Amino acid sequence: MLDAIETYLALRRTTGFAMSTAEHLLKSFAAFAAERGQTYVETKTAIDWAALGPSVAQRDARLRAVCRFVRHVRVEEVGHELPPANHFGARKKRRTPHIYTTDEISRLVEAALRLRPTRGLRPHTQATLIALLSSTGLRISEALKLTIADVTRDGLLIRETKFRKTRLVPLHDTAVAGLQRYLARRGLGSDDDPVFIDKPGRPLRYIAVKETFDRLVDKVGIRSTSARRPRLHDLRHTFAVRALQGSPTGRGRCGAHMAALATYMGHVNIYATYWYLEATPDLLRDVAMAGEAFISEGRSA
């Protein structure tokens, strides 16, 4: 079974998937099946192994990893059984994002600039990072991995991120100016040096950014409609919503706009982009107006 797993992983990786989690899970399952003297996937064994997960969501993820492997390998090896993928009945829940207003983002940036030490680089690092995330919709991991060489005259070069994709992210002139001001203050290093650094000059860590951002959210008094605190990741949701609001009119042009947005955000398909959208009052108003215009055109025709 291990040989079939290795072939499966290699094929998936050639299409851009990292497969690190899948590799861990499938090799664990193969060892579990081997203890039972099995060389083919059997439904009961797959369910028993998946049931070792500590939560429903993890049990579901374990079983689905096996199911994806079986669907591939059964093309040549029909002896493998395909377990029911929904055996554990887990459902992925989407956490309602907080869509930041322009005023809230401005307050976060201003509060970041007041961080201590006020004459150090830290306030400018945090403020520039927040502004960059809100204006580009970058994943926080992508922003933290940026190097000096990735800041080009054509935009930001985002190298081999999710699904091993590399893309160019053009920047608005104001974003370019803000980033250049930060780099001038930071001091240019070698091409391989990270753009965002902490006080000792090391790459800025996610946990430090998150903790600082959470404190800033509390300090400026931003509250979500849900019981949970607004997140750093919600800046990406906010960008997607604002980008859709800026879509040109017309069904065809809006479709092309969404396809461009999906590419800009680094999604492999447009469904992932839809995940980031949230029905804000402004967006619903725009949808209603577009609907009324469509109906009016139909009546006049």
Question: Which amino acids are annotated catalytic?
Answer: 139, 162, 233, 236, 267, 276
3-class state of residue 242 by DSSP:
helix
**179 φ, ψ (degrees, to nearest 5):** -70, -40
Q: Are 265 and 137 in contact (CB under 8 A)?
A: yes
Q: Copy the structure tokens of residue 103.
A: 């005023």
What does each C-alpha distance from 284 to 201, 207, 224 come to in angstroms? 45, 35, 19
3-class state of residue 18 by DSSP:
coil
Q: CB neighbours of 285 closer than 8 A, spacing ≥ 6? A: none
Tell me how far apart the alpha carbons of residues 23 and 5 are, in angstroms, rounded to a whole number.
Answer: 8
Ranges of H-type helices in the chain: 2-14, 20-35, 43-50, 56-73, 102-113, 122-136, 140-144, 173-186, 206-220, 234-245, 251-264, 270-275, 281-300
Q: CB neighbours of 38 closer than 8 A, spacing ≥ 6? A: 1, 45
Scan for tokens 């300090």, then name that residue. 219
